[in-house]
Copies of this chain bind each other. A is one copy, B any other.
Amino acid sequence: MASSKVRVLAINASPRKYGNTFKLLKVAAEAAEREGGEVELIQLYDYDIKPCIGCLSDIQVACRYPCVLEDDGRELIEKVHRSDALIIATPIYWYGPSGHLKNLIDRITCLENMIFIDGRSWAEGKAAGFIAVGADSGNISAIAHLMVVLNSMGFIIPPWALAYYIGSEDALNRHESISDAANVGALVVRVAKLVKGISEWYNPKLIDELGGDEFIKSIRDEVEKIKVAEFRKREGLITKLMRESR
């Protein structure tokens, strides 16, 4: 297991297959390879991705791998499933990812929703890094969105998992951007290696293991003690508030 390679899926979510988004992704991909990753780089606009139809809102367990929609999205979801790490590079379209990428994100739900079928998210424990490129603004909005979404699916986010370039020049001339992008590539591989072999993260029985109802009760008791003490301290204030709030 230790010798097994880390598989990295690098996604260019820009329609421009030669633009700044792609350039920074390419830098990240090279750095990932040098770190020992086995990188597959895809041009997202080569794939036809239909929008998610929200099956799970009708039947929770209907959303499962493989997705019911039969299009190129399926192949992409399988690529995500097989990977140990993702590097997602998006153009900044109105302060967010391109709609095309959002459609893929929505569709990946079928991996995460395996929680309800298999007991755990099939995205759990993968590493993810992010690159955002645009002419003006919104890089952090776009990346914050992607980061919290993937973390909510179970991805681990390495330190410094973000790189960006804002402007209309050649991003390859901007040292900070290429250095950050290279580090995104290297760090997702380093972290993916560190966690490779760990098959379980979220422990659904953790509350039971901590003592279940007894555990919760002990916390409730402790909180109650603090509450009494605090209320006493805040007594003057509370009385004042109550008087005024009549």
A residues engaging B (CB < 8 A)?
14-19, 22-23, 26-27, 30-31, 34, 45, 49, 51-55, 57-59, 61-62, 64, 68, 91, 93-106, 109, 117, 124-125, 135, 137-141, 143-145, 147-149, 151-152, 154-162, 164, 166, 170, 172, 175, 178-179, 182-183, 186-187, 190-191, 194-195, 201-204, 206-207, 209-210, 215-216, 219-220, 222-224, 226-227, 230, 237-238, 240-242, 244-245
Instruction: For the complex, give the distance between the alpha carbons of A92 and B190 in Å.
Output: 32
| Known interface pairs A51-B15, A148-B95; A125-B223 also in contact (CB < 8 Å) | no
How many copies of this chain does the complex contain? 4
| Known interface pairs A95-B149, A141-B141; A201-B175 also in contact (CB < 8 Å) | no
Q: Would you call B99 and A51 a contact (CB within 8 A)?
A: yes
Q: Secondary structure of the A side of the interface?
A: helix
Instruction: For the complex, give the distance between the alpha carbons of A155 and B157 in Å.
Output: 9
Instruction: For the complex, give the distance between the alpha carbons of A166 and B204 in Å.
Output: 20
Instruction: For the complex, give the distance between the alpha carbons of A206 and B3 in Å.
Output: 24
Q: In whole Å, how far is A165's beta carbon from the nearest beta carbon of chain B? A: 11
Residues of B within 8 A of A22 (CB): 223, 226
Q: Would you call A223 and B26 a contact (CB within 8 A)?
A: yes
| Known interface pairs A147-B144, A147-B147, A154-B160; A59-B241 also in contact (CB < 8 Å) | yes
Q: What are 5 A-B residue pairs whose CB atoms fall within 8 Å in the complex?
A: A17-B227, A27-B219, A62-B244, A100-B103, A138-B140
Instruction: For the complex, give the distance between the alpha carbons of A215 and B223 in Å.
Output: 46
User: Which of these, B45, B51, B201, B245, contacts A98 with CB under 8 Å?
Assistant: B51
Instruction: For the complex, give the distance between the alpha carbons of A12 and B72 in Å.
Output: 25
Chain B, Cβ-Cβ closest to A102:
B99
Q: Would you call A106 and B94 a contact (CB within 8 A)?
A: yes
Q: Would you call A206 and B172 a contact (CB within 8 A)?
A: no
Instruction: For the complex, give the distance between the alpha carbons of A51 and B103 in Å.
Output: 10
Instruction: For the complex, give the distance between the alpha carbons of A245 and B210 in Å.
Output: 33
Residues of B within 8 A of A34 (CB): 209-210
